[in-house]
Amino acid sequence: MAVNDMRNIVAVAGLPGSGKTTVARIIEKRGYTYLSLGDVVRAEAQKSGLSPDRVAVTLRLDRGRRAVAHRLLSSVRLGQRAVIDGVRSTEEIDAIEEVLGAVFLIYVVASRKTRYNRLASRGRGDDPATYAQFLLRDIRELRFGLADLLARADYILVNENKPIEDLEQEIGCIL
């Protein structure tokens, strides 16, 4: 398989507030269909009346680490170029690859301070209200398997307050 073939499916991973969605949306503008594992969890939370954090843990514990990816994949058209935002484990990457083929994994990193400030200012309902909650969320996310994805990444993107134009240029160079 040619290197560029595996860039038809791009997955974006990283801790909360690292800039995953910003990176994924830039990739979307390059002609990729945007898909979000977090949106799957939030939709399930809305249906069940539970918090997104609770749903994320419950789905993965009750149905396995591939459960959220399987839900997302049920709505994907084969053959489309796609960017998948919010991958949390190597098992999710494996599930995606089984259905869509090779995945190019971008792992987005930013400092703890930067990530906390981003989450505090974005105002999404599932963001931590305190620094202690932020740290607990990091621990939970790492237990899902995020640290293993860092070792598997095809590209590590440092997103420490870069201007959007710099991010766009960097992404243009790797895709």
Kindly report, residue by residue over 83-106, the tens digit of the pLDDT.
Answer: 999 999 999 999 999 999 999 999
pLDDT at residue 5 in the model? 58
Domain range annotation of the chain: 3-170
The phi and psi torsions of 30 (rounded to 5 degrees) equal -90, 15
Average pLDDT over residues 136-146: 87
pTM assigned to the model: 0.89
Is the Cα torsion angle 79, 60, 39, 47 positive or negative in sign? positive
Confidence band (pLDDT; 50, 70, 90) for 64? confident
Residue 11, pLDDT above cutoff 70: yes
Top-tier CATH class for 3-170: alpha beta
Is the CB of residue 158 less than 8 Å from the CB of residue 109?
yes
| pLDDT one-digit tens code per residue, 46-58 | 899 888 878 888 8
Residue 18, pLDDT above cutoff 70: yes
